[in-house]
Every structure is written in C-alpha cells, then in structure tokens.
C-alpha cells in the first residue's frame, strides 16, 4: 500500500503553548482514516494543517512524496468538505460544483461532462439551478461533497460534515459516504467526535486527546485492544479494575453474571445490583462491588439477564482473554 | 401595561414630530409667495426657479457634486481594499489598525478640519477643490470600512477558505467570491460617503478656498445674512437628495445581509 | 517559514493615506500647540507651554465650564427623550422597527446647518411660533425664543438625538428577555422590573449614546453660532475664532488638544464602565 500523506514530526503551537505535540503519521492511499476525539483535541487543527489553512510550527507534510510547506492550499491536490458546507450563497448548485474546475481553467466541454457525472452520483440533477438558500441541510451537504470530488483530488478532507444533520439523515449519509469512498477509491481523512460514526465508516481510526494521537488502528483493534486509558474509556463503555498498581479494562458485554450462591472459580468479583436499564435488545446492569465504592457495568443481551433485578446479589466473572492491561 | 404603552407610543410619535416638524416647515415655506417667512401668502415655485438662474448656486452645486463623486470613489476603493486586507491580519494588528482608522469618527469634527488646515498650510497647499476632496475622502474612509468590515464579519472565513481549497488563487477568490458578496456593502458605502460629502459643513468650512464653495458653505453664507426663501428652497433640495441617498443606501445595505445568511 | 499573504498589502495605500491625512495633521497640531504666535499672526517656531497655561485663565475656564454644562444638559435631555423612543421601537414587530429606525436616522444625515436653520425659522421673532401666537392674540410682543442658551440646547438635542437612540436600541435588542420574564415570575411589577432589570442591562447602550452625544456637543460651534447668535461662546466658537479671526493658531491648537483629551478621557471612562458592567452581567 502506498503512503499518500506522510506527516513528519509535525508540531503546532499557538501563542507559545503547544496544541499538538510532535508526532509522525503515515496515511495509506485509498484508506478511510478518521481522526476521532473530543472537542478541542486538535483533530480539526491537524486536518487544517494538511489542507494548508494552518502552518505547522515545525515538521513537514508530504503529499505523494512532495513536501507541502511552501505550497498554498489552492495548489494542493486535495479538497475539503467544510463543517458548515461553505457553499457560495451567490451561486447556484451548478456554479458551486463547477467552481474548482473553472478556477483551474478546465475546458468547457470537460466541465460539463464531469458536472453531469457528479450530479448523477450525488442525486442532485433536479436541483442544479437552485441556490443554497433553497436547499435542505442534507442537500447542501451533497453539494459540498460534489463540489469537492468533481476535482478528482488525491485526498478528500472532511471536517465533521454530518454534525448539523439529524440522526436518521446522518446514518444514511454515513453509508453513502462510505460507499462513495469505496467506489471512487479516494483517500478520505475524516474528522468527527462521534465514535459510532468513526467505528462505522473507518478503515483506521486515530484517537486523539489533547493534541496527541493515542492510538491508530482498525475499529476492532481500537475497541478490543485499546492501548491507553483514554482510548479504553472514550470508545464505548468500559470497566476499569485497579489492583496493586495495575489497571485492567474489561468491556461490559464480556462480563458474565452468576447468582451469588453458586460457587465457581469463574467468579472474580461479587456485588449488588443497583440499577437495571432496559434498552430493548440490551440490558445495562449496574453493580456496586462488595467492599468498595466502585461500580461496574454489565451488558446482557436479549433474554439473558431478564431475571436480574435491583438489590440482587451477584457474582461476576470474565475470561482472561478479554482483559486488557493498561498503564494507569 | 396598556396604559403605559399608550403613553410610550404617544411620546414616541411626539419625538418623530419633533424631529420632522422643523424640516417640514422649512420645506413648506420654500413654496411661500411671501418673502417674510411666517405669513403664508400663496404657493409658488419662483424661489426654486431663481436658484437655477443663480450662477453662484449652480457653481456651488457643481462643486459639491464633483467633490462628492471623486471623494466617494476614492474612499470606497481605499476603504474596501483596507477592510478586505485587514481581515487577514492577526487580531492584535487588527485592533491597532482599527483603532487608528476609526479615530476620525469619534474626534470632534472641528479638530479634523483644523488639523487638515494646519497640514495644508504647513505644506503650502492652496486651499481649493483638491483640499476638499482630500478632506472628504479622509473622513469617509472610516465609514466605508465600518460597513464593509461588518459584511466581511458576517461572511466569515469559511467561504474564503473553501474558495482557496477548490483551487482559486487569492486574487481569484477576491474577484469571484469576496467582491460579489460584499458588493451591496460597497454600494452602500459609496452612497454613504457621497451623502457625508454632500452634507459636510464643518470640515469644509476650514479647508475650502475662496473659489471652491460647496452647497452647505453657500447656505451658511446666506443664513448668516438672515432668513430668506431662497435658503429654504436650497435647503429643501439638499434635504431631498440626502433622504433619497440614505434610503437607497439603506436598501442596498439590507439586501446585502439577506444574501449572505442562509 | 511563514507564507505572508500578499493580500495584506492591499491595505497599504489606505494606511499611507490615513497616515498622511489624519495622523500627520494631528501630530502637527500637537506640535503647533507648543509654538508661539508672532506679532503678525504668523507662527514662531519656539517651544513654549504658554498656550496651555493660558487655558487656565478664568476667562477660558468659564467658557470650558459653559461648554461642559451645555454638553451635560444636552446629554441628559437626549437620554430623557431618546430612551423612551428607543424602548418603544424595540418593542415593535421587526418590520416596523426597520421603518422607525430609518425615520430616526434620516434627519441625522441631513445637513445639521439646514436643520438648525429650520429651528431659526420657527423660533425667531418673526418666526412661525410667534406669528401663530400673535395672530391668536395670546401675546402682544414677540417672544425672544432664539439667541439664548435654551435655544442652543434645543438645537443641540435636536441635532444629536439619533446618536442616543441607536445605541440604546441596539442594547435593548441584545437584552436577554428571559431575565425580564424571571423578574415578573418572581412578582415584580412592570415598573420595578424595568428599573432593576432592563435599565441596568441597557447601561452599555446609554453609556455609548452619552459618549457620542457628549463628545459631539463639546466640539460644536455651528449650532451655538446659529441658534445662540453672538452671545454664544462655547469652546468650539473660541477655537474657530482663534484660527480665523484672531489668527492665533498655536493657542487654537492648544485648545483643540485639550478638547480632544477631554474626549479621550470620556471614551476611556466609557470602556471602563462597559467592562465593569459587562462583568456584572456575566456574574448575574
């Protein structure tokens, strides 16, 4: 797999304080990489540095082997889909989409041909003469995407593009974007704070916290083998057991519950149920461990835990293989 | 609550009357047949007609118009260029420059007029049309910048970035994205400058030469000599043109803000 | 290495212009205020602070005092007239608000010389008011409504009222109406709610308007001239006099500088007041 973007010891400082400490990163051609993290973790800053809207304080970014430090955004072979779409209000959908080609003085014939292709792709052919004011959020989103991909960029940068949309629309657009990426083969660098989104769409996720990339791996890796405390607790729900200076993480669905009276080596902990939350196919069972202030969470699916109730005494067990040791 | 709002409403209407009554009376009496103002003796256009036959008035009018036109064009170009450029400076520099450029608005006009008089005398520049143009441009620039900066702030930086991201150079961005979007603001700024120039008295008072009278200066001369219907007529014309310009400028300014937000 | 944006250079011509035609004249005026006046009215380039000392002469002290009094009264009346008007406008529906604001602004853009002159027509001894009163038989002799400090005040308030209305309106617009609702929830009468909630929250608007009106007032010379006649001697008239009749440019400059310092001090106070108010609002 070819490396399409390489960040070499990139660091970013704002007014003297380090926003992104030095790190390096390679992004593969054709992959869907997501930068995931809470607000203020630096993911958007990173994206903007790649796009050319921020300068790294030190370090170098390479696109296809060529350094980008002296290259302004309008000369970089990438395009960005902005958070608030940034559609030109004084232009129609057509004019918006054609803007990039027009600036690069692509021939009229080719402009038209690519326009038709792209309009088909994002299903906006009927709305081509409308202005952004006359479009819904989802439609505006599509125009933003069309406007970017018509230029056949090497990389597409997406800055929380689905943030402003409602739940159902977000879900369907996630699928669409994923398919788009697979079909076009363009490298996607996607920024979001929504971990479900990241897990659903990405080939790899870079989990970021306070400017640092804590872990880069496939969604499965990230979920099952988190490497830091932050990753373990940021993604999904997790139980952290602290004993003798070691921290161990076990996912809620890996916890098995047994009645207290049964004796078994499988039992690792005991406790009392404090809460049972019924969520349809899933039951969340909160247990206060005996002798501590600590609560753990167990997931029970379908009819598995239907007998458990508040104040029941339980024993909890899990297999060694499901443990992840972290530095505390 | 109803009682209070009736009083409030009444008071507010009273204020409007207070603001417009003098102007209305002025306009009314410009049509008065009688030379002695307060007694109404009949409707006539003759004072207006005599204005157009008055060479001095026509000269003052022509001066006002040409000075207004040239200074507004200058102020609009300089003001727009500066506003667009300053958006790209660091916040600290923006504040410093804005402080310097908006100062003329808060300083008493008499100071600006006198300071310019001192400048011209120091450099032995003869007072005349050119000094008036220079002065008018100078006090108009801040107003243009206020209007344009507001439009640019509304626009935000995303559009500019999107444009560059799609491959437009900064100049292409200026031409195809920024300027079209602030154009109504530019027009509003131009019209405001023209109005300011047309109506300016204090600064013109100090920097005008003996042969470069503007309309307000001419009116001042007449007023000093006493009340007369010619002054009323002239004032009415000035009022009419000002009102027209302000309304058109305001319409443009509003059209602008509607385009940008969606 | 930073890529400097060439678009920043676009500001250069404007900065040069403002530097030469605004900053430079101000500096020259400052320098001039420290010079001497020659016997024939020319400038003698010798450093002196005599001009500033002369300002403390009781004659000028009185004039400064008068000017301040007029400015304060103008501001006070502007608030009294302007606040209710602004309040009324802010309560109207949006479309009406635009129209009313335009109505308030239009007189402001009309040449104030013309506007002052309009008052002369109304108030002078053969003016509208006197003519009407006389024809109704209410008075025998015409009233002297013009050429006194009262008429100057009317002229000033008339000229500067829009300056007060607009900032107060903006401040009312930005007010958080939920606080008002909370107050009435807690049992406050409309008047008390206004006094304890609305008024403090619109303090910034009142202060801004007051600064604008006050600073404009102290520099005025046309309105006092037209409405007050020869009797009127406010600082603006004196300064004008120094430059045109008395030909004492250095002294005139010194007076102007003091005038500007006064304005600057007030603007400084404004910033302090708006920050103090801001932090109070933040805490609330």
What's the pLDDT score for residue C275? Answer: 66
A70 vs C contacts (CB less than 8 Å): 1, 3
Provide the shortest C-alpha distance from residue B191 to chain C (in Å): 12
Residue B251 placed within a domain: yes
**How many H-runs (helices) and E-runs (strands) does chain A carry?**
8, 18
Q: Are residues A190 and A286 in the same domain?
A: no
A139 vs B contacts (CB less than 8 Å): none
Residue B189 placed within a domain: yes
3-state secondary structure of C146: coil
pLDDT tens figures, A142-191: 999 999 999 999 999 999 999 888 888 888 889 989 999 999 889 999 99
C26 vs B contacts (CB less than 8 Å): 111, 115
Residue B260 has pLDDT above 50, yes or no: no
In whole angstroms, what is the distance from residue A49 CA to residue A62 CA?
11
Compute the Cα dihedral for C8, C9, C13, C15 and give only its sign.
Answer: positive
Q: Give partners of C (≥3 CB pairs < 8 A).
A: A, B
Out of B13-17, B65-69, B105-109, B122-126, the most confident range is: B65-69
Q: Give partners of A (≥3 CB pairs < 8 A).
A: B, C
List the one residue out of A77, C190, C108, A97 whose CA is nearest residue B3.
C190
Indicate left, alpha or beta for C41 from its phi (over 0: left) and psi (-120 to 50: alpha): left
Question: CB B119 to CB C25 under 8 A?
Answer: yes
Q: Are residues A198 and A56 in the same domain?
A: yes
pLDDT band per the 50, 70, 90 thresholds, residue B37? low
B104 vs C contacts (CB less than 8 Å): 22
Chain A with chain B: Cβ pairs closer than 8 A = 63
Residue A230 has pLDDT above 90, yes or no: yes
What's the pLDDT score for residue B253? Answer: 74
3-state secondary structure of A86: coil
Q: Counting Cβ atoms within 10 Å, is residue C273 exposed (0-12), middle (13-18) or buried (19+)? A: middle
The pLDDT tens digits along chain C (284 residues) read: 345 677 888 889 999 999 999 999 999 999 988 888 877 667 777 888 888 888 888 888 888 888 888 888 999 999 999 888 888 888 888 888 888 888 888 888 888 788 888 888 888 777 777 777 777 877 777 777 777 778 888 888 988 888 888 888 888 877 777 777 787 788 778 777 777 778 877 887 888 888 888 888 888 888 888 887 766 678 888 888 888 887 888 888 998 898 888 878 877 777 776 666 544 443 33
Axis-axis angle for helices C203-219, C235-244 (nearest 10): 40
Q: Pick from C1, C2, C3, C4 the residue to mutate for testing the A interface (most A CBs within 10 Å).
A: C3
Q: Is C230's Cβ below 8 Å from some Cβ in A?
A: no
Among all residues of chain C, which has the CA nearest to that of A55?
Answer: C2
- Per DSSP, helices labelled H in chain A are 43-51, 93-103, 108-121, 137-149, 167-184, 195-201, 219-224, 229-234
Question: CB C121 to CB B29 under 8 A?
Answer: yes
CB–CB of C219/C260 below 8 Å? no
C158 vs B contacts (CB less than 8 Å): 18-19, 22
DSSP string, B86-120: HTTS-HHHHHHHHHHHHHHHHS-HHHHHHHHHHHH
Lowest mean pLDDT: which of A281-295, B7-21, B59-73, C180-194? C180-194
B262 vs A contacts (CB less than 8 Å): 89, 132-133
Q: Mean pLDDT across the stretch B243-259?
A: 76
In whole angstroms, what is the distance from residue B201 CA to residue B195 CA?
12
What's the pLDDT score for residue C277? Answer: 52
What's the pLDDT score for residue C224? Answer: 83
Provide the shortest C-alpha distance from residue A243 to chain C (in Å): 44
Q: Give the DSSP H/E element, type plus range, for residue C275.
A: helix C249-283
A55 vs C contacts (CB less than 8 Å): 2-3
What's the pLDDT score for residue C230? Answer: 67
Question: CB A104 to CB B163 under 8 A?
Answer: no
Q: Give partners of B (≥3 CB pairs < 8 A).
A: A, C
Question: CB C28 to CB B38 under 8 A?
Answer: no
Out of A277-281, B65-69, B258-262, C181-185, the most confident range is: B65-69
Question: CB B167 to CB A103 under 8 A?
Answer: yes
**Interfacial B residues in 162-221 facing A (CB < 8 Å):** 162-170, 172, 176-177, 180-181
Provide the shortest C-alpha distance from residue A56 to chain C (in Å): 9
A80 vs B contacts (CB less than 8 Å): 161-162, 165
Both tokens of C70, joined, read 């007029």
pLDDT tens figures, B140-155: 999 999 889 888 888 8
Q: Mean pLDDT across the stretch B89-112?
A: 84
B166 vs A contacts (CB less than 8 Å): 74, 79, 99-100, 103, 147-148, 151
Domain C58-283, CATH 1.10.3720.10 — does that match?
yes
What's the pLDDT score for residue C2? Answer: 42
Q: Pick from B156, B161, B165 the residue to mutate for testing the A interface (most A CBs within 10 Å).
A: B165
Question: CB C1 to CB A72 under 8 A?
Answer: no
3-state secondary structure of A249: strand
Q: Are residues A203 and A98 in the same domain?
A: yes
Q: Note the pTM of the prediction, 2 decimals.
A: 0.82
Q: Are residues A226 and A246 in the same domain?
A: no
From the list B165, B169, B181, which residue is nearest A79 (CB)?
B165
Q: Are residues A83 and A208 in the same domain?
A: yes
Containing structural domain, residue A254: 238-326
What's the pLDDT score for residue C283? Answer: 38
C2 vs A contacts (CB less than 8 Å): 55
Q: Which long-range contacts (CB under 8 A, 24 or more apart) does A214-222 make?
A: A216/A25
Could you tell me which residues come within 8 angstroms of residue A228 by beta carbon, excluding any fewer than 6 positions away?
A: A214, A215, A326, A327
Question: CB A69 to CB C1 under 8 A?
Answer: yes
**Distances from the Cα of C117 to the Cαs of A211, C238, C280, in angstroms?**
67, 21, 45
Average pLDDT over chain B, rounded to whole?
86
Q: Is B257's Cβ below 8 Å from some Cβ in A?
A: no
pLDDT band per the 50, 70, 90 thresholds, residue B204? very high
What's the pLDDT score for residue A308? Answer: 83
Q: Is C7's Cβ below 8 Å from some Cβ in A?
A: no
Residue B45 placed within a domain: no
Provide the shortest C-alpha distance from residue C58 to chain B (in Å): 23
Q: What percentage of chain B has pLDDT greater than the value 70? A: 94
Q: Is C3's Cβ below 8 Å from some Cβ in A?
A: yes
| Count of domains observed in chain B | 1
DSSP string, C86-111: HHHHHHS-HHHHHHHHHHHHHHHHS-
Q: Counting Cβ atoms within 10 Å, is residue A169 exposed (0-12), middle (13-18) or buried (19+)? A: middle
Q: Mean pLDDT across the stretch A221-246?
A: 91
Q: Pick from B10, B93, B108 the residue to mutate for testing the C interface (most C CBs within 10 Å).
A: B108
Q: Pick from B26, B135, B219 the residue to mutate for testing the C interface (most C CBs within 10 Å).
A: B26
Q: Mean pLDDT across the stretch B94-118?
A: 86
Q: Are residues A226 and A271 in the same domain?
A: no
B163 vs A contacts (CB less than 8 Å): 88, 99
CB–CB of B219/B231 below 8 Å? yes
Provide the shortest C-alpha distance from residue C1 to chain A (in Å): 8
pLDDT band per the 50, 70, 90 thresholds, residue B4? low
What's the pLDDT score for residue B135? Answer: 96
Find the CATH number of the domain harbouring A292. 2.40.50.100
Q: Of A230, A253, A288, which one is at a domain's C-terminal end? A: A230
Provide the shortest C-alpha distance from residue B9 to chain C (in Å): 7
Q: Mean pLDDT across the stretch A252-259?
A: 88
Residue B11 placed within a domain: no
From the list C10, C26, C212, which residue is nearest B81 (CB)?
C10
In whole angstroms, what is the distance from residue B37 CA to residue A130 CA?
60
Q: Is A70's Cβ below 8 Å from some Cβ in C?
A: yes
From the list B166, B168, B259, which residue is nearest A147 (CB)?
B166
Chain A with chain C: Cβ pairs closer than 8 A = 6
| Count of domains observed in chain A | 2
Residue B207 placed within a domain: yes
Q: Pick from A88, A104, A137 the residue to mutate for testing the B interface (most B CBs within 10 Å).
A: A88
Find the CATH number of the domain harbouring B150. 1.10.3720.10
B201 vs C contacts (CB less than 8 Å): 111-113, 222
Provide the shortest C-alpha distance from residue B152 to chain A (in Å): 14
What's the pLDDT score for residue B228? Answer: 74
Question: What does residue A155 show for φ and ψ, rounded to 5 degrees?
Answer: -135, 140
Containing structural domain, residue B255: 53-260
Q: Is B121's Cβ below 8 Å from some Cβ in A?
A: no
Find the CATH number of the domain harbouring A204. 3.40.50.300
């Amino acid at each position: 797999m070819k490396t399409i973007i390489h960040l070499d010891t990139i660091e970013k400082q704002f007014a003297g304080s380090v926003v992104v400490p030095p790190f390096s990163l390679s992004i593969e051609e054709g992959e869907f990489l997501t930068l995931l993290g809470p607000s203020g973790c630096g993911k958007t800053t990173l994206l903007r540095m790649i796009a050319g809207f921020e300068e790294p304080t030190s370090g170098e970014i390479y696109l296809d082997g060529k350094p980008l430090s002296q290259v302004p955004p309008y000369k970089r072979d990438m395009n960005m889909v902005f958070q608030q779409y940034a559609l030109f209000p004084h232009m129609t959908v057509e004019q918006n989409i054609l803007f990039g080609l027009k600036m690069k003085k692509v021939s009229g014939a080719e402009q038209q041909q690519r326009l038709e292709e792209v309009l088909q792709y994002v299903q906006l052919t009927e709305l081509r003469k409308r202005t952004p004011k006359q479009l819904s959020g989802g439609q505006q989103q599509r125009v933003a995407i069309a406007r970017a991909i018509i230029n056949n960029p090497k990389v597409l940068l997406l800055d929380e593009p689905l943030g402003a949309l409602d739940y159902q629309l977000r879900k369907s657009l996630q699928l669409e974007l994923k398919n788009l990426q697979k079909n076009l083969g363009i490298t996607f660098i996607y920024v979001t704070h929504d971990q479900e989104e990241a897990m659903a769409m990405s080939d790899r996720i870079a989990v970021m916290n306070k400017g640092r990339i804590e872990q880069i791996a496939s969604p499965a890796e990230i979920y099952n083998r988190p490497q830091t405390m932050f990753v373990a607790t940021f993604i999904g729900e997790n139980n952290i057991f602290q004993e003798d200076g070691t921290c161990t993480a076990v996912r809620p669905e890996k916890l098995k519950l047994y009645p207290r009276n049964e004796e078994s080596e499988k039992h690792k902990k005991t406790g009392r149920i404090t809460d049972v939350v019924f969520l349809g196919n899933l039951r969340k069972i909160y247990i206060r461990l005996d002798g501590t202030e600590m609560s753990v969470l167990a997931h029970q699916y379908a009819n598995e835990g239907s007998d458990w109730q508040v104040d029941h005494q339980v024993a909890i067990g899990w297999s060694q293989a499901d443990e992840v040791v972290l530095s505390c | 609550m109803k009682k209070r709002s009736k009083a409030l409403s009444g008071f507010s209407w009273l204020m409007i009357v207070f603001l417009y009554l003098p102007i209305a009376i002025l306009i009314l009496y410009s049509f008065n047949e009688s030379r002695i103002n307060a007694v109404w003796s009949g409707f006539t256009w003759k004072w207006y007609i005599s204005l157009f036959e008055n060479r001095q008035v026509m000269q003052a009018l022509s001066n006002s118009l040409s000075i207004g036109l040239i200074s507004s064009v200058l102020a609009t170009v300089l003001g727009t260029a500066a506003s667009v450029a300053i958006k790209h400076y660091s916040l600290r520099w923006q504040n410093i420059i804005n402080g310097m450029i908006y100062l003329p608005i808060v300083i008493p006009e008499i100071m600006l007029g006198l300071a310019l008089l001192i400048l011209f005398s120091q450099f032995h520049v003869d007072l005349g049309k050119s000094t008036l143009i220079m002065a008018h441009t100078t006090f108009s620039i801040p107003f243009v910048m206020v209007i344009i900066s507001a439009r640019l702030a509304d626009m935000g930086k995303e559009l500019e970035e999107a444009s560059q991201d799609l491959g437009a150079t900064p100049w292409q961005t200026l031409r195809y994205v920024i300027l079209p979007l602030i154009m109504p603001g530019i027009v509003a700024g131009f019209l405001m400058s023209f109005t300011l120039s047309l109506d300016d008295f204090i600064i013109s008072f100090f920097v005008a030469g003996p042969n470069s009278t503007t309309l307000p200066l001419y009116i001042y001369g007449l007023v000093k000599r006493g009340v007369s219907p010619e002054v009323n007529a002239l004032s009415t014309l000035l009022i009419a043109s000002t009102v027209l310009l302000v309304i058109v400028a305001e319409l443009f300014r509003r059209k602008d803000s509607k385009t940008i937000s969606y | 290495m930073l890529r400097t944006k060439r678009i920043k250079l676009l500001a250069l011509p404007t900065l040069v212009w403002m530097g030469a035609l605004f900053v430079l004249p101000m500096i020259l005026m400052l320098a001039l205020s420290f010079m001497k006046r020659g016997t024939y009215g020319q400038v003698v380039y010798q450093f002196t602070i005599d001009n500033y000392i002369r300002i403390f002469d009781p004659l000028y002290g009185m004039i400064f005092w008068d000017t301040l009094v007029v400015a304060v009264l103008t501001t006070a009346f502007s608030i009294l007239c302007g606040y209710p008007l602004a309040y009324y406008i802010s309560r109207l529906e949006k479309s009406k608000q635009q129209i009313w604001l335009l109505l308030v602004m239009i007189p402001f853009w009309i040449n104030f010389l013309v506007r002052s002159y309009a008052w002369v027509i109304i108030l002078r001894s053969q003016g509208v008011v006197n003519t009407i009163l006389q024809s109704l038989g209410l008075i025998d002799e015409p009233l002297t409504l013009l050429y006194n400090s009262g008429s100057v005040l009317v002229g000033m308030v008339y000229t500067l009222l829009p300056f007060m209305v607009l900032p107060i309106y903006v401040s009312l617009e930005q007010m958080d109406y939920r606080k008002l609702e909370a107050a009435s929830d807690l049992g406050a009468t409309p008047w008390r709610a206004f006094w304890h909630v609305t008024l403090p929250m619109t303090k910034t608007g009142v202060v801004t308007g007051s600064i604008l009106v006050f600073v404009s007032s102290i520099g005025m010379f046309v309105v006092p001239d037209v409405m007050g006649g020869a009797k009127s001697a406010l600082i603006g008239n004196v300064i004008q006099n120094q430059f045109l009749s008395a030909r004492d440019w250095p002294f005139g400059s010194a007076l102007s500088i003091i005038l500007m310092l006064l304005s600057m001090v007030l603007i400084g106070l404004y910033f302090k007041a708006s920050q103090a108010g801001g932090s109070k609002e933040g805490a609330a």
